[in-house]
C-alpha cells in the first residue's frame, strides 16, 4: 500500500549579487539552491547547495536538521575549493553538547566536542538559511529590540565560510529586530521579519536580512554594506507536493 506523505516540501533559489564591481558585469557572483522538508513531529531539514565564484571558487553543500524550536539536531557540511575537496564534517547535537567528526585535506581526520545549552542560537553553516534559522531563536515575546548572545558556534569565521569545517566561535553578537515588513523580490511578495546582525567579533560589515513570517523563517532578502556591497534575493519559491517525482 502506498504511504501518505505527512511532511511539507518547499524549495527555492537565492541569487548573490554585488553592486558596483566591474569584475562582475552582470552583478552575479554566486547563488544558493535549497529544499526544506517540515515533518509531522516538528523537525525541519534544510538541504542547500551554495556556489561562490569570487576569490577562490567555492562550493558548499549543507544539510541541517532542527527541531520544532529550531534547536540543531544534526548537520553535515562539505567544502570544495578550487574544484578540489577541502573538508567535510558531520555534527551531532544534544541539549548540552555538540560534537563533530570529519576530514580535511590539510589535517586528515578531525574531531571535537563542546558544551552547549538548549537556548543556543542556531549553528552558523554559512548557507543563508543558517542566518534565518538563527533569527527563529529570537524571543518575539519581547517585541522589536536588540537581543545579544555570546559564544555563537560556526563552522568557520571566514566570511565566505571557506575554512574548516570545524568549530569556531564569535565571542558576542546581537540580533536587532525591527518588526514586520512586506518585501518584494523576484520570487514574489512576502510578509517578513526584518533583522540586522550587530556587533560581531569577526568584524562582519552591517547586515540586514528579511525572513518569512509564516513560521518557517525562510530567507527572502539580505543587504550587506561596504566593502562587499552584496544584495541577496530569493528568485524562486516553490511549494512542492511530497511524493511527486
Query: Which has more confidence, 52 or 229?
Result: 52
Determine the structural domain holding residue 229 and report its residue range: 8-240
Range of lowest pLDDT (17-21, 83-87, 106-110, 203-207): 203-207
Whether residue 2 lies inside any domain: the answer is: no
18 pLDDT higher than 90: no
| Whether pTM exceeds 0.75 | yes
Per-residue pLDDT at 14: 98
The enclosing domain of 37 has a CATH number of 2.50.20
121 pLDDT higher than 80: no
Whether residue 234 lies inside any domain: the answer is: yes
Per-residue pLDDT at 242: 86
Confidence of residue 200 (pLDDT cuts 50, 70, 90): low
Per-residue pLDDT at 203: 65
CA distance 227 to 172: 22
Q: Each residue of 45-103: pLDDT tens digit?
A: 999 999 999 878 999 999 999 999 999 999 999 999 999 999 999 999 999 999 999 99
Q: Burial, 64: exposed, middle or buried (Cβ in 10 Å; 0-12, 13-18, 19+)?
A: buried
Confidence of residue 202 (pLDDT cuts 50, 70, 90): low
Whether residue 1 lies inside any domain: the answer is: no
Whether residue 121 lies inside any domain: the answer is: yes
Query: Which has more confidence, 240 or 199?
Result: 240
Whether residue 245 lies inside any domain: the answer is: no
130 pLDDT higher than 80: yes
Whether residue 29 lies inside any domain: the answer is: yes
Whether residue 92 lies inside any domain: the answer is: yes
Q: Each residue of 147-159: pLDDT tens digit?
A: 988 778 899 988 8
Per-residue pLDDT at 119: 77
Query: Which has more confidence, 55 or 190?
Result: 190
Confidence of residue 201 (pLDDT cuts 50, 70, 90): low
Structural domains of the chain, count = 1
228 pLDDT higher than 80: no
Per-residue pLDDT at 198: 84
User: How confident is the prediction for the chain on average, in pLDDT?
Assistant: 91
6 pLDDT higher than 90: no
Amino acid at each position: 500500500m502506498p504511504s501518505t506523505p505527512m511532511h511539507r516540501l518547499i524549495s527555492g533559489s537565492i541569487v548573490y549579487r554585488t553592486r558596483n564591481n566591474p569584475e562582475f558585469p552582470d552583478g552575479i557572483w554566486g547563488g544558493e539552491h535549497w529544499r526544506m522538508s517540515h515533518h509531522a513531529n516538528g523537525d525541519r531539514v534544510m538541504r542547500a547547495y551554495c556556489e561562490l565564484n569570487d576569490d577562490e571558487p567555492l562550493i558548499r553543500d549543507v544539510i541541517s536538521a532542527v527541531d520544532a524550536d529550531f534547536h540543531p539536531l544534526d548537520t553535515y557540511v562539505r567544502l570544495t575549493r578550487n574544484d578540489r575537496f577541502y573538508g567535510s564534517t558531520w555534527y551531532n547535537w544534544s541539549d548540552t553538547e555538540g560534537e563533530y567528526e570529519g576530514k580535511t585535506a590539510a589535517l586528515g581526520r578531525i574531531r571535537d566536542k563542546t558544551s552547549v545549552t538548549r537556548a543556543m542560537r542556531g549553528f552558523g553553516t554559512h548557507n543563508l538559511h543558517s542566518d534565518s534559522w538563527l533569527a527563529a531563536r529570537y524571543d518575539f515575546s519581547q517585541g522589536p529590540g536588540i537581543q545579544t548572545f555570546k559564544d555563537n558556534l560556526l563552522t568557520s569565521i571566514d566570511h565566505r565560510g571557506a575554512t574548516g569545517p570545524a568549530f569556531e566561535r564569535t565571542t558576542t553578537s546581537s540580533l536587532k529586530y525591527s518588526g514586520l515588513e512586506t518585501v518584494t523580490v523576484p520570487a514574489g511578495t512576502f510578509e517578513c521579519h526584518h533583522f540586522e546582525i550587530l556587533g560581531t567579533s569577526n568584524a562582519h560589515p552591517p547586515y540586514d536580512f528579511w525572513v518569512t513570517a509564516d513560521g518557517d523563517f525562510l530567507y527572502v532578502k539580505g543587504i550587506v554594506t561596504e566593502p562587499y556591497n552584496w544584495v541577496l534575493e530569493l528568485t524562486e519559491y516553490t511549494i512542492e507536493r511530497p511524493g511527486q517525482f
